[in-house]
Chains A and B, each alone.
Chain A
Amino acid sequence: MQKIGVAIIGPGNIGTDLMYKVIKKSKYLDLKLVTGIFAESEGLRLAREEGIETSARGIDAILERDDIKLVFDATTANAHMKHAPLLREAGIVAVDLTPAAVGPYVMPVVNLNEHLDAPNVNLITCGGQATIPIVYAISRVTPIPYAEIVATISSKSAGPGTRQSIDEFTITTSRGIVEIGKAQKGKAIILLNPAVPPMIMNNTIYALVETVDEEKITKSVENIVKEVQEFVPGYRMKIPPTFDGNKVTVMVEVEGSGDYLPKYSGNLDIETSAALAMAERIARDRLLKIKKGE
């Protein structure tokens, strides 16, 4: 089968988890390069072990070749702000896993087919990918004047890139609740928990709703959980929709598939699985167009 050449920049927790997923699960992506800034980093070493070409020259290693058509950026919000214009100029699609939010927000269960021609798409944040589907599921039943999410991830699964982008993480997730979740107002809270053994990624979603239709809301939430499970099997409802006046509370947890870090790191899985689903769809679309001679 024909594939398109891709690279990963930023071989940290997210980049490395993504690498294993691309190698194991992708149909349309040919991983040609993993690039970072530290030659001795764990991520580059693991890439070499998989027989993938690596570089410690960051974005330059991508720009100087012509076989890469799509790049996954798993660095930091700040770094992606620099990478985005360079990739765009080179005609390379950027699938952005940082909270830089340069391109439109994408979420597989909500808008998988909406931005296939965009030069840059943004995965919001792991907290956003885990919680905003629930907000969306509620808002398709009744208007939501206000929604709020609390994402708690284990300290071990949050690498330096995530930590240095905590401000963008918070702000971008809040915006995602409004733009993708369709709440009128959104707030996001991100917490890191250092407990040992590490806790599984835990998410609480609160929504103040206009009309309390318990049955319809519960059904809609159950349906979306199933849809998310199709690409993240470890996504599950911990506490089903609980009603308190016009306040709906839902808790979901995400157990990872353990591709890179152990299973507590569901935050990696939900983000990288969404990125992979998005990139696969973009790649399939491109390949179809090439076939048709467009």
Chain B
Amino acid sequence: MGKKIKIFDLTLRDGSHAKSHQYTPEQMATLAGQIDKIGVEAIEFGHGNGLGGSSLQYGFAAASDRDYIEAVSPVIKNSNMSIIILPGVGTRHELNLAKEFGAKYARICTQISEVDIGEQHIKMAKKLGLIPISVLPCASVIPVEETVRYAQMAESYGAEVVYLLDGGGYQLPEQTFERISAMKKAIDVPVGFHGHNNLQLAVANSKAAVEAGAEYIDCCLKGFGAGAGNCPTEIFVAVLGRMGIESGVNLYQTMDIGDQYLRPLMPRAMEIDSDRIMLGYAGCYSSFLLFAQRAGEKYQVDPRDIIKEIGKRECTEGQENICIEVAYDLAKEKLAKQTSI
């Protein structure tokens, strides 16, 4: 077939969400050194919300961006270093930091309909000599033609790969196939996909993306990431093997590193419980999960109701504060109902 899929391993970035951003730099460096051996194209690491994400809004990380990158950059030898920023959260300072430590890829993540706020940072990354990748969440809530138009805009700014990101694990495989196929026809640069597993469709969506022509897929060891997690690296490597597609990733080694080095750091196995199913059903960002649960506890409302309402309000990546507002509103409503009875 000759086709090769490039896997970006996000265990140390999306996985940060599942650890409330509490990886120590040493833990990150140890894991990065192991993941470096398995044959993935890139290793992305840092705060779950990207460089610059450490905050009250998303949670402070255990260490600064600089501490993490200082620890991780020397151990990545075979793979490549990737960082991600959300314009409006991360800035040129973070791109400069990534450049200083030799990152290869700078991924710029913006809500798909807001792709133009990524223009500035895509161009800055390119100027610095980083390979800019545009990562676009929430394509499944807009028509295929619009998805294509925004992908073309990302390409016109200089993105060298354009990703669709299904942050809520809400997308169905046929939606993924349809959108990636249409993008492949309309743009010249490669296409990528990033899935979440809240409806247990991360692998199916990633497979559909590959069938439609995607060449870049985001995975995490054991699926360790926000919400119910991401597309598990081990499983996807096995699936690609069954499909007869080259990934360059060693299956046994991937499994062993997951068991030996990651599992002891995981607060819990990646099971799909009620609140996580709700994320996928409502189309709410996986990274909102812990915030919805905390707000639910503070204001005594069911986190599922919070998640459902967030889906309705079409919240974008980064709007974690909405959990407080929604919980506050629901609690007020509940109180009003009780007093009126």
A contact set with B: CB distance below 8 Å: 146, 148, 150, 152, 155, 158, 160, 163-167, 169-171, 187, 189-196, 199, 202, 204, 206, 208, 238-239, 247, 249, 251
Contact = CB atoms under 8 A, between A and B. Distances in A.
A195 B313 contact: yes
Nearest to B58: A189
A192 B319 CA distance: 9
A114 B115 CA distance: 39
18 contacts: A155-B113, A163-B114, A164-B116, A166-B117, A166-B121, A167-B91, A167-B92, A167-B124, A170-B87, A170-B91, A191-B318, A192-B88, A194-B113, A194-B114, A195-B313, A239-B328, A251-B321, A251-B324
A232 B333 CA distance: 28
Contact of B314 (A163, A195, A202, A249): A195
Given A191-B319, A194-B316, A204-B321, A163 B328 contact: no
B316 A191 contact: yes
Given A152-B319, A155-B114, A247-B56, A189 B324 contact: no
B114 A192 contact: yes
B91 A189 contact: no
A163 B318 CA distance: 17
Contacts of B124: 167
A144 to B, nearest CB: 12
A190 B91 CA distance: 11
Contacts of A194: 111, 113-114, 314, 316
A135 B121 CA distance: 29
B111 A192 contact: yes
B113 to A, nearest CB: 4
Nearest to B119: A164
Interface string B105-129: 0000001011011011100100000
For B57, B314, B321, which residue has the most chain A Cβ atoms within 10 angstroms? B321
Contact of A160 (B88, B89, B116, B314): B116
B87 A189 contact: no
A23 B17 CA distance: 50
A190 B314 CA distance: 16
B199 interface: no
B140 to A, nearest CB: 14
Contacts of A187: 55
Nearest to B88: A190
Contacts of B89: 170, 189-190
A167 B119 contact: no
Contacts of A247: 56
Given A202-B325, A251-B324, A189 B315 contact: no
Contacts of B316: 191-194
A21 B20 CA distance: 46
A69 to B, nearest CB: 33
Given A171-B91, A249-B324, A148 B56 contact: yes
- Lowest 3 A-B CB distances belong to which pairs? A195-B314, A190-B88, A206-B56
Given A191-B88, A194-B316, A239 B324 contact: yes
Given A150-B57, A191-B319, A193-B315, A164 B120 contact: yes
A267 to B, nearest CB: 13
Given A150-B57, A170-B91, 12 more contacts: A152-B319, A164-B116, A166-B120, A167-B121, A187-B55, A189-B57, A189-B318, A191-B319, A194-B114, A194-B314, A204-B324, A251-B324
B88 A189 contact: yes
Nearest to A191: B318
B120 A238 contact: no
A249 B322 CA distance: 12
B127 to A, nearest CB: 13
A95 B57 CA distance: 32
Interface string B17-35: 0000000000000000000
B136 to A, nearest CB: 12
B64 to A, nearest CB: 13
A238 B314 CA distance: 20
Contacts of A208: 56
A247 B56 CA distance: 9
Nearest to B312: A195
B55 A199 contact: no
B340 to A, nearest CB: 22
Contact of A150 (B116, B121, B321): B321
A193 B314 contact: yes
Contacts of B93: 171
Nearest to B315: A193
